[in-house]
Structure 1
């Protein structure tokens, strides 16, 4: 079978909507490639403002043209907000599609995201997470995911219980378990995300240490006060709405790591968590995106 590979370059803040567009109308998961030219071994990090390449794949069959049209319409809408180049097209074979190769990505101090098709000689200090190339979006190309992974690496301790609200590909849960968490629970309202997370945790060897659920919180299978670290890489409106159940889910003294919040909405999110017993430990940003570390105040409901 042959495939039509579509690719477009965009600033990091537009990766999420474009990836979603390619995922809805394409086959499998879209990939995101970050520019090279930096050496993580020397402490260098990628330029967070540099354009990235989003790739998606369409089967060449009677549905190809209608899928392309739907993607074109979505890209034209995004062009009302930002200037984008034309979508590039190239036909690839089954083998070329399955065996794409992407460079490993260093995240934080020791986490390394390695596509399964890529050979990587790890160092003793490396904590290697293998993912399918198509899941590269969940590996730190977007500032929100990058900051979430870096904060999880700082927060998770051996034996911790981890909750991921809006788990997507499951990469945050995989990272937490690789860092020594005892168990990870993931939640997502999208069926495709639930399926993807289950498959990726199985591939990573963490099936017995993980539970992936459909839905959001509160949830009858998510105990209040049951988690030491909670990751929530979701939109500001959703974080504000879920502030109370998020605080309720974490043990006293536990940590909630929020991301996916634009700097212009940060104060609203912070106030929502303070109102229900959260205390902000720190906040940081890359470009216009922020990540915040929040603890549950002792004695709060």
Structure 2
């Protein structure tokens, strides 16, 4: 199968907005090459293992999305073009350049690996790419990962916010639903904290990658990975429902929480770009949920919510 790689060079301030456009198109893979973020990780000490040499700061980022070259390609390209034009109208000072080329699956699945290094998230998580060697500390919880073409390496703010919050909230033997599991990183993290996890995704590639990562981390006894949507896959109710997707999809999921989340359960919603946070907060309130916590990182937002006591 061929994929169209669309590379958008944009002023650093527009990185999240362009990434959100790709997510709205349903791209199963989005990557961001941000020199400033790369340098910040190197300087912070979060990356124990790296060899990038001197990093040139350009004031721009390159956001890449991958779209299948099928019958939906042209409509999606038109939608992307319209979204980019709207951004330029709102922010005429931004640099915005677009390039596209056709790539094979194997090229896409390996080209970004130079940028995926071992990284520490939260107090104990050490994310280890499967092809890298590390020397863990005694208290480290290792998440070994080969994301392939599935979103979720832990280095993006949306995923790291979820990992940090899972570390704070997951208790042994909790039942967790991971909606839109991607690479399976959040499900694996929750399982290593002692939870039982049901991970689902609509995308067959993501399901395959997630299952492989589950087996790589030896947590298959605590995680089931299935393809499908809420209505056809999930039965019963969870103590914690996690959705690291995008705002529009989260808004569509909220009405189903009554069926799949316990009365004393909690909902973690991430993948929300900053300017859409108020929409999601309003949607939660309309369906009887209250926001317990709001976390922000690099223009992205995570919301932790539970049922309002009066609504039970």
TM-score by structure 2 length? 0.69
Structure 1 residues 116 and 173: alpha-carbon distance in aligned structure 2, compared to 1, 3 A threshold? same
Structure 1 residue 98: Cα displacement:
6.4
Tell me what 1:123 maps to.
Answer: 137
Alignment of 1:210-225 (within 5 A): 210-219=223-232, 221-223=234-236
Counterpart Cα distance in 1 of 2:206 and 2:135 = 30
Structure 1 residue 188: Cα displacement:
1.5
Tell me what 2:185 maps to.
Answer: 171
Structure 1 residues 232 and 221: alpha-carbon distance in aligned structure 2, compared to 1, 3 A threshold? closer
Structure 1 residue 243: Cα displacement:
1.2
SS at match of 2:230: coil
1:269 aligns with 2:280: yes
Structure 1 residue 206: Cα displacement:
1.7
Structure 1 residues 163 and 299: alpha-carbon distance in aligned structure 2, compared to 1, 3 A threshold? farther
Alignment of 1:35-184 (within 5 A): 35-38=37-40, 39-41=43-45, 80=85, 81=87, 83-84=95-96, 100-101=113-114, 102-132=116-146, 134=148, 137-181=151-195, 183-184=196-197
Q: Is the 8 A contact 2:148 2:209 kept in 1?
A: no
Structure 1 residue 173: Cα displacement:
0.3
Q: Is the 8 A contact 2:207 2:225 kept in 1?
A: yes
Counterpart Cα distance in 1 of 2:291 and 2:253 = 16
Structure 1 residues 126 and 212: alpha-carbon distance in aligned structure 2, compared to 1, 3 A threshold? same
Structure 1 residue 30: Cα displacement:
7.3
- Structure 1: gaps spanning 5 or more residues: 45-49, 58-62, 64-68
Tell me what 1:236 maps to.
Answer: 247
Structure 1 residues 262 and 197: alpha-carbon distance in aligned structure 2, compared to 1, 3 A threshold? same
> Please, what is the CA RMSD of the aligned residues?
4.2
Report the count of equivalent residues. 279
Tell me what 2:202 maps to.
Answer: 189
TM-score by structure 1 length? 0.72
Q: Is the 8 A contact 1:8 1:53 kept in 2?
A: yes
Q: Is the 8 A contact 1:198 1:212 kept in 2?
A: yes
Q: Is the 8 A contact 1:247 1:296 kept in 2?
A: no
